[in-house]
Chain A
């Protein structure tokens, strides 16, 4: 327990995957136009990231390390994440068609979300235990969702603001993302 809380809150605020470690920028910019879609994306990422953190840990520690083939890390992790996303997509389509509709194209996009791959690799380099990896995964996903919601809320307002065509749209979104990122630097040293 002593280690879990710092890992959990650390990955949400201090080492936020998107804002501090700059992983998963593409969905961060692509899906953050509306609060609704960013919530859906956040939920899907939470599910995949948590499962991916656990399964990649198992594969690394129970298969790759005993056989001494750690160099296959990247390939095997991609395999896990891709099939996990496929599985989630099929399951969601069957269980909740309405959620499947609202997530739309973002579900398959999670496959190429580098935040998930990055988190799986971080679990290994930080030498976390299985439980710590799971907590790290949940926290990372929550941090990702928070970052997405923050910028989506601001971008919804920015849509209406009059501004120069030069900065309108994606450019101002990047500027805002930079400012939020700097703001998150303030959490450094908290945990």
Chain B
């Protein structure tokens, strides 16, 4: 009896083991060795702070170039520099600090509302009605969902309905960025000062109708930038933080006043 048990269970185990071994040959998928190398450094907490489901997915995204090397908030600079070694990127780039910024200045005084919203005081709920009550399809709704999720008290709601980020308190954990239904929060290089504070990918005419200070994608800033750090994609200007020298020419030339150079992220008084 005892022998039967050992033999049969062993046979079953051997059979399944062989099937699996065979299957692993048949279904072998080639993986980039860099992905495995990076996975080893990651904290393996699968916390999701990077915006990916787990550390494995993050490692893949980094190798593909979709995620930044310093996007792993729990890993911090140690992990970032190790990833930089694997990818062969300069370490200086890996120690960059990123902070959250609201890419919208269209507060109540500048941006119209399509209708009066009387629903749940939550941006995600407001999005369910015709993409929110703001006339601009990409603008900040300002109901403070990001304020609620911030664990570090870095976000306060401004009087004009646009959140104010505190870069000193912001740890770059991405929580507000991930929860924002309008995708209006983005991570910016802490050292670079100049940013386009607009998220509208609509054509200039549409932007003008909805908001007094939105980016119309005219490209004046790109033409006047001596470093050629500005590109216009999908009717929206974008400043490359690595080439920008903070000369401030774009601010002078921007006809819509949507470029700012302050890092305290308060909506500047527009002249």
A binding-site residues for B, Cβ under 8 Å: 59, 63-64, 67-69, 72, 75-76, 79-80, 83, 86-87, 90-91, 93-95, 97, 101, 104-105, 159-162
Considering only CB atoms, which chain A residue lies closest to B7 in the complex? Answer: A67
Q: Which residues of A contact B54 (CB under 8 A)?
A: 104-105
Q: Is the CB of B29 within 8 A of A87?
A: no
Pick from B16, B26, B27: contact of A83, CB below 8 A: B16
Given known contacts A68-B4, A104-B54, A160-B125, A76 and B27 CB-to-CB distance under 8 angstroms: no
Q: Which residues of A contact B5 (CB under 8 A)?
A: 67, 69, 72
Closest chain B CB from A34 CB (angstroms): 12
Q: Is the CB of A93 within 8 A of B19?
A: no
Q: Does B248 contact A (CB under 8 A)?
A: no
Q: Does B227 contact A (CB under 8 A)?
A: no
- In the complex, the number of residue pairs spanning A and B with C-beta atoms less than 8 Å apart equals 64
Q: Is the CB of A90 within 8 A of B53?
A: no
Question: In the docked arrangement, what's the CA distance between A108 and B128, Å?
Answer: 34
Considering only CB atoms, which chain A residue lies closest to B31 in the complex? Answer: A93
Closest chain B CB from A51 CB (angstroms): 12
Q: Which residues of B contact A161 (CB under 8 A)?
A: 120
Q: Is the CB of B9 within 8 A of A75?
A: yes
Q: Does B122 contact A (CB under 8 A)?
A: yes
Question: In the docked arrangement, what's the CA distance between A76 and B1, Å?
Answer: 16
Closest chain A CB from B42 CB (angstroms): 15
Q: Which residues of B contact A79 (CB under 8 A)?
A: 9, 12-13, 16
Q: Is the CB of B8 within 8 A of A64?
A: yes
